[in-house]
Amino acid sequence: MYNGIDIREVDMRYVRKNLIGFAEQEPMLVDEGIGFNLCFRDDISLSDLKEAKFDRLARILDMEKFVASRTLGYTVNEKNVTTSGGEKQKISILRVLLKNPDVMIFDEPTSALDAEAAKGFAECLREIQNEKIVIVITHSESLMIACDEVIRVP
């Protein structure tokens, strides 16, 4: 059962698309613009992102300069040597936060982030933890402090 509905009757495509967000440790980027990589839509504009609290989230993750120095159409991809591992990871995290699903899963989200961005991300988690189901797979003690429950696997 899921929310009182037989699991066989739940539209899992809808659930994955709308209710679950996943940020991977080493995200793959699509050979498209930043806007597309954030929302998987090619008709996204900066005003659309601003309505989705993009500015605040970009500030939290210290992505303002990165985005300001590029247009939303600026192509990022796996071969792009000007996009660091930390920037790719931030795009993956922003993607989940902008999607704003009920369940958010972050796999080693701060492994490539600088200390300031990691701190901002931990603060963001504290803000949303009462409204969302947030699962963080991490070795970071600072992120564990932001969690309600820590499960240690030997």
In the chain the domains, ranked by start, together with CATH numbers, are 7-145 (3.40.50.300)
For 12-29, how does the pLDDT look when each residue is reduced to its tens digit (9 = 90+)?
A: 998 888 899 999 988 888
- The tokens for 153 are 């696997």
Angle of CA points 96, 101, 106, to nearest 5°: 45
Confidence class for position 99, pLDDT limits 50, 70, 90: confident
To the nearest 10 degrees (0 to 180), the angle between helices 85-99 and 115-128 is 10
Contact 21, 96 (CB under 8 A): yes
Mean pLDDT of the chain: 82
For 37-89, how does the pLDDT look when each residue is reduced to its tens digit (9 = 90+)?
A: 777 765 555 566 656 577 788 888 888 777 766 655 566 766 656 678 888 89
pLDDT of residue 84: 81
Indicate the pTM of the whole model.
0.81
Give the number of other Cβ atoms within 10 Å of residue 4's Cβ.
Answer: 5
